[in-house]
Structure 1
């Protein structure tokens, strides 16, 4: 198992293979780098070096009772990329991983470290409702995620995975039980305290300044039926804050579209990288 130890002693797991321009994948909550398996196989076959880590307290990284915030997540990524000597990298983030990727690019992406970024169903600029974000997700919905995670995360997570995450709760949806089971496999390996603390990180972090500071091209891909990160709250707001941003939306696609519609999204990402 490949890990590095970051400044506070936390062990961060990562996997990587291939040669060529590096692509770094940032996973969503409460999953692991395994959520990118399909993309890692696809892009390595296209001649890229692919890297995916498990966020602290998630997957195979060590439990973390502290540092469960976006600044520390980004610093952990910086430690991995420095260890691997990555330059001219593409950073691709889904959901919470999109916030992590944007914070990383804003803080560490200058000097040739980052070429481009892709956000898929991502949380920026801010997910939760606030005085400056009146169209955000209501606080009672965020509190419901906290309560469900703390009380019985297995049952709560199962409802996520078999329902809104992949749009399996929609009438006429093609339900894929193995996909939900794989979601649960990843989620239940993680540390509950770290996952619980991450809720505040993904809900309440404001990425406005990060988005505004980034010079590199950023592509936003967002499902129009995303029930987790509603497109009008996130993707359509984020693109307005970017200097060099573009957005592509997908009618009817859910939050987990990178998994169940990889055959569509992967070529779109490849075209952006090669453009």
Structure 2
């Protein structure tokens, strides 16, 4: 297993598969998961000849269970350290949910030549919390509810989320996958409770408006129209207005976890964007 020791002595776990001279694709997971959430995509793009990389965000998965630094500036700085350590150039960065916020903050601050394109999939930008600038966001009570559930019974909460809204398994016609539910629980419970608690604020209250405005390279927004976790009207449909070189692709009836429930659809569209 590969680990990188960061400048603050925190160790983060990462996977790095494929030819080191191939174009890199870097996958950024959502809350409260790990790099394992991207197994399907990593195997798919590895077969297509890419170098595929994914890390467990600090406090998540196999990385150190941090009680500090669990916020977006540090998350993006950690990615910059990883990109430098692996000497990643001309990379495509793909982020889901919280990982989408991490991607756009990193890309907005990245060194020239490090990044070629970015993909935000079911991502939180510009901001999840309702504000004067974005009144269509969610009320703070939603995120207070997350924190309450984490403290009361994190293990049960991490069953309830994937069993219901995350994959849309609460819809009447849903084809429920027990494997996806259990894998979500496994990934979540491997991370640290304090880091997960802190990350609720990071993914809900961070405003990515200036990051979106600062990025001029191609960005693809992919979002399920039935996303019950990050509602599309308050996220992707607002974010696209702030991107100078953005493309929005929406998916009728698909959920927040659409890349896991419909990988054949998402992988094909990712590949088309990368090659386009």
Whole-angstrom CA distance in 2 between matches of 1:150 and 1:8 = 27
Q: Which runs of 4+ in 1 moved over 2 A?
A: none
Whole-angstrom CA distance in 1 between matches of 2:84 and 2:164 = 38
Query: Who is 2:3 aligned against?
Result: 3
- Listed one character per residue, the Cα deviations across residues 62-119 of structure 1 (whole Å, up to 9, x for unaligned) are 01100000000001111111110000000000000000000000011x4111000001
Matches within 5 A, 1:206-217: 206-217=207-218
SS at 1:232 equivalent: helix
Matched, 1:71 2:73: yes
Query: Who is 2:46 aligned against?
Result: 44
What CA RMSD, in Å, does the superposition of the two structures yield over aligned residues? 0.6
Q: After TM superposition, give the deviation of residue 198 of structure 1 in Å.
A: 0.2
Q: After TM superposition, give the deviation of residue 34 of structure 1 in Å.
A: 0.3
Which blocks of at least 5 consecutive residues in structure 1 are unaligned? Answer: none
Matched, 1:263 2:264: yes
Whole-angstrom CA distance in 2 between matches of 1:130 and 1:153 = 28
Whole-angstrom CA distance in 2 between matches of 1:145 and 1:65 = 18
SS at 1:159 equivalent: helix
Whole-angstrom CA distance in 2 between matches of 1:272 and 1:72 = 29
SS at 1:117 equivalent: strand
Matched, 1:241 2:231: no
Query: Who is 2:199 aligned against?
Result: 198
Whole-angstrom CA distance in 1 between matches of 2:153 and 2:162 = 14
Matches within 5 A, 1:152-191: 152-191=153-192
Matched, 1:96 2:69: no
Whole-angstrom CA distance in 1 between matches of 2:9 and 2:57 = 14
Query: Who is 1:25 aligned against?
Result: 27
Q: After TM superposition, give the deviation of residue 143 of structure 1 in Å.
A: 0.7
Query: Who is 1:34 aligned against?
Result: 36
Query: Who is 1:16 aligned against?
Result: 16
Which blocks of at least 5 consecutive residues in structure 2 are unaligned? Answer: none
SS at 1:199 equivalent: helix
- Listed one character per residue, the Cα deviations across residues 141-187 of structure 1 (whole Å, up to 9, x for unaligned) are 11101110111111111110100000000111111111100000100
